[in-house]
Structure formats: C-alpha cells, structure tokens
Amino acid sequence: MQLGVFGMNAGVPLAPADTLRLARLCEELGYDSWWAGEHIVLPDPRVPPSPMRPTDPILDPLVHLAFVAAATERLQLGTGIIILPQRNPLVLAKQAASLDVLSQGRLQLGVGVGYLEPELTALGVTLAERAARTDEYLDAMLAIWSDPARPHHGRFADFEGVEAFPKPVRGGSPRIVIGGHTPAAHRRAVTRGHGWYGFALPPDAAAAQLEGLRAAADEVERPPELGPLEISVTPMTPVGRDMFRAYEEIGVDRVVVYPLPLRDLRDVERFVRAHAVLIDGR
C-alpha cells in the first residue's frame, strides 16, 4: 500500500523554501504522492459546512503542484479535489495537460462536484446543476484532450473547430480521480475514474464507501481501458501501523495522511517522518 500526504497548500507553512523542503523530504522518505485541495473563495463570515475560516490561506492547487513538480522527480501530484463545476473545462484541461507534461506524466487530477453553496454561487453555479456540470465538463475535457480534438456540444460547454496542444503524457487524459461519498460519485468513479478519493474517513467509514463502490460496479459498466479502480483515503487523525493495516485489509490502495492542525514547520517535518515508518513496514 502507498502513502501520500495531503494539505500542504493550506494551513501548513506556505513559504516557498518550506514547501520545497517538505516536498523533497517526503520524496526522500518514500512517500508516493503529494495532494492539494481547493477552495477558490470562502464564505465571510464563516458558515457551516465551510471547513475553513475566510482568512485561512489556501494556494491554488495546480499552481502549487507545478511548484512542487519542479522540485521533485517521482512524487505523484494529486488534486484532492478540484471543484470541477466551478472551473471552465477548457481552461482546466489546458492547465492540467500543461502540468502533466511539465511533471512528465505525474498528475492525478482529482475532481468533485463541491458542496459549499456560497462558493459555488459566487462562481455562478447552483447546487442543483453541479453534478450535471461535472459530468459534462469531464466529457468536454476528454474531447479537447483527444488527438485530434473532438467537437463537444452540450448544455454547459459548446465548441468545435478548435485544438489544444500539448496533450497529456499518457494519451487521452491524465489519471482522473473522482472524489465523493454519494452513490452518484461512486457511479462516476466506476464509469469515469482511474481512481476514487475519500476524505475524512476512518477505516470503518472507508469500508462502507468501498461497499458503495462495489454496488456501483454492479449497476454500471466500467470501461476496460480505465483498469482497476485505485482507492485513496485521507483520515483526519495520525495513522499508526494498526490503522494502516486496517485500511489495507479493506482494500485501500493509498493512505494520504494529513498533518492537521499543525502550523509549525518543525512539527510538520516530525509528522511526515513519523508516518514514513508505515512505508514497506519500516
């Protein structure tokens, strides 16, 4: 089972030198991936279910990951997740393909529908239409990533007679990871994702989500070219060996640890060093 780290674009020290130091340390310690979340705007004043205060800093995940890509060689670069319906699909497709090329194919593009209504509203998206936009935007990005690009005529995106190069390194798309805990998200992961990402899940809750994914696999067909669905999960607490084994036993492929609520660089370093012992049973 693989070990990743989440949240280094928010809350933890954001100075460029600190980010580079932590990214290189994680790669040296054997972490396989580095994940960044997203909130473009936050409600002010804070209202439930906002996970952050309006003044909490959070860097754009793709900009942050491009910075990390330049300082590393092997770390997979994951968005956990980008809120797809509030992004222009052609702009996001260009950004994702650019990062994938610059990182030599290391991008794992995690996307989700979003849940924070004030943020969605500020960006011109309603809660009611966010799932439909997500599905269509995935189609639109796959169309522009095709070689040659295909036309797309939909409710939320409409284009033809345009091209966008370079294409993602793997051909067709970077690895797509679907986030979300609902039956609709499970079906989306089965039909469209190379992977699925679950956030804030202890092992018992992760097991329930995997049951949901198995149920979705019985309902909808998985395109064979996607391969096995890779399961990544972030817990909200430190992870010991017993918990790590519990995730492995239920079928999780990657645990993405989160150094919340640490703010001091030395504490974050201690956190990633302590969790590195989980890699290969060290």
Q: What is the mean pLDDT of the chain?
A: 97
> What does the pLDDT average to over 34-41?
98
Cα-Cα-Cα-Cα torsion 207, 209, 213, 219, nearest 10 degrees, comes to 120
Taking a C-beta distance cutoff of 8 angstroms, is the pair 123, 40 a contact?
Answer: yes
| Rounded (to 5) percent helix, strand, coil in the chain | 45, 15, 40
pLDDT digits (tens, 9 = 90+) for 184-193: 999 999 999 9
Tokens of 26: 């994680």
**Per-domain boundaries in the chain:** 2-281
**Predicted confidence (pLDDT) per residue in 240-259, tens digit:** 999 999 999 999 999 999 99
Tell me the pTM.
0.97
Q: What is the DSSP letter of 193?
A: -
- The DSSP code sequence of 108-140 is EEEEE----HHHHHHTT--TTTHHHHHHHHHHH
Q: For residue 171, what pLDDT band results from cuts at 50, 70 and 90?
A: confident
| DSSP-assigned states of every residue in 7-30 | -TTBTS---HHHHHHHHHHHHHHT
Would you say 37 and 64 are in contact if contact means Cβ atoms under 8 Å apart? no
The residue-averaged pLDDT of 174-179 equals 98
Q: Where are the alpha helices (DSSP H) in 146-251?
A: 183-192, 203-219, 241-250
Q: Which residues of 34-66 are buried (b: 16+ CB within 10 A; e: fewer)?
A: bbbbbbbebbeeeeeebebeeeeebbebbebbb
Residue 282 pLDDT greater than 80, yes or no? no
Question: What is the fold, at CATH topology level, of the domain defined by 2-281?
Answer: TIM Barrel (3.20.20)
Q: Mean pLDDT over residues 166-181, rounded?
A: 96
Shortest CA distance to 84 belongs to which of 19, 179, 211?
179
Quote the pLDDT of residue 13. 78
State residue 280's pLDDT score.
79
Is 76's pLDDT higher than 80? yes
pLDDT at 157 over 70: yes
Tell me which H or E stretch contains 66.
Answer: helix 61-71
The separation between CA 29 and the C-alpha centre of its own chain, rounded to angstroms, equals 21
CA distance 72 to 27: 7
CA atoms of 118 and 260, how far apart (whole Å): 24
> What is the pLDDT, as a whole number, of residue 94?
98
pLDDT of 205 higher than 80: yes
pLDDT for the residue 12: 80
- Measured between alpha carbons, how far is 60 from 57 in angstroms, rounded to an integer? 10
